[in-house]
């Protein structure tokens, strides 16, 4: 089978976008295709596969498959990259379109220059702090700046859902922290029945936070859009930062805006790397 693809990244969080509309890809094969294409030695290489599909409630649907083949509700960097392909490939020939995800309908706002998408601002919805919405099973209504232990170390953390479950872990040594050591046990912590992303962060000042990410189903990645959104939401919720936060990652920054009550907004780049044809047996 020949499959045309687009390879993009959002600040180093890389992904593959394919068109699965019209039954082009068999449902039973999607997990295998994701594992095959995302493999960095025998495939294209990527943190996830984004599959376009028809939608009954939006202009188009985005399905997210992690590199291990599991399906995720949402991908913050992914929706920016997906939106760029949707517009520039002409799948939807106008901006202002809506995208269905498993975490609800999103409406990206495209910043265009000469017909090219320079950056994307996404309404990420209202952050959910109730543990039942994360979901998190810890016996508390919320989990905000509470202790949690992994691999013999206690951290202070906040749980929030910004499209997928997120655990925001506060630390003062984020650059040197061994996130491989702590990320996996926190992802699989008994508190999280559906596992969780883990966003390790260090507050630099009232407007800047440094982020390193561990994504469920992927492992360590260079950036996570829902994670950056969660970090900003957790900081704003606790009064640790202003309501506009620059979340700093190794390859740049995401801008997060939240008034503390209503919808939260994420803005950032979507860089195209290459496109071509993959051959699948």
Helix (H) / strand (E) element for 230: namely helix 225-237
Residue 75 designated active-site: yes
Catalytic annotation, pick one of 81, 201, 223, 224: 224
Q: b or e along 160-189 (b: 16 or more beta carbons within 10 Å of the residue's beta carbon)?
A: bbbbbbbbbbbbeebeebebeebbbebbeb
Distance of CA 218 to the CA centre of its chain: 11
262 vs 179: CA distance, rounded Å: 32
26 vs 217: CA distance, rounded Å: 22
Q: In Å, how far are 12, 87, 173, 193 from 235, measured between CA atoms?
A: 23, 33, 17, 24
Residue 48 designated active-site: no
64 vs 230: CA distance, rounded Å: 19
52 vs 205: CA distance, rounded Å: 39
Catalytic annotation, pick one of 38, 48, 75, 81: 75
245 vs 30: CA distance, rounded Å: 36
Closest Cα partner for 88 from 63, 113, 53, 105? Answer: 113
Which pair of tokens denotes residue 231?
A: 């970090």
- If DSSP codes are grouped into helix, strand and coil, which group holds residue 90? coil
- Is the separation of the CB atoms in 117 and 84 below 8 Å? yes
DSSP string, 174-214: TTT--HHHHHHHHHT-TT-TT--EEEEEEEEETTEEEEEEE
Catalytic residue numbers? 75, 224
């Amino acid at each position: 089978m020949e499959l045309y693809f687009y390879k993009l990244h959002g600040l180093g969080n890389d992904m593959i976008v394919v068109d699965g509309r019209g039954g082009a890809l068999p449902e039973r094969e999607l997990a295998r295709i994701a594992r095959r294409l995302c493999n960095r030695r025998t495939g294209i290489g990527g943190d996830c596969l984004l599959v376009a599909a028809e939608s009954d409630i939006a202009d188009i649907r985005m399905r997210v498959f992690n590199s291990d083949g599991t399906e995720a509700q949402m991908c913050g960097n992914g929706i920016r990259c997906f939106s760029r392909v949707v517009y520039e490939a002409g799948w939807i020939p106008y901006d202002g379109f809506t995208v269905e995800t498993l975490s609800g309908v999103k409406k990206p706002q495209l910043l265009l220059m000469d017909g090219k998408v320079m950056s994307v601002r996404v309404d990420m919805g209202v952050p959910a702090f109730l543990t039942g919405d994360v979901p998190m099973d810890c016996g508390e209504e919320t989990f905000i700046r509470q202790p949690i232990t992994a691999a013999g170390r206690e951290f202070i953390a906040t749980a929030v859902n910004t499209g997928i479950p997120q655990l925001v872990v506060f630390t003062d040594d984020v650059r040197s922290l061994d996130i491989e050591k702590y990320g996996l046990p926190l992802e699989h912590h008994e508190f999280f029945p559906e596992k969780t992303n883990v966003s390790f962060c260090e507050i630099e000042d009232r407007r800047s936070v440094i982020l390193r990410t561990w994504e469920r189903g992927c492992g360590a990645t260079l950036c996570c859009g829902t994670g950056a959104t969660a970090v900003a939401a957790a900081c704003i919720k606790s009064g640790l930062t202003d309501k506009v936060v620059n979340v700093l990652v190794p390859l740049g920054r995401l801008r997060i805006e939240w008034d503390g009550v209503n919808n939260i907004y994420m803005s950032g780049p979507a860089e195209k790397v290459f496109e071509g044809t993959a051959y699948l047996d």
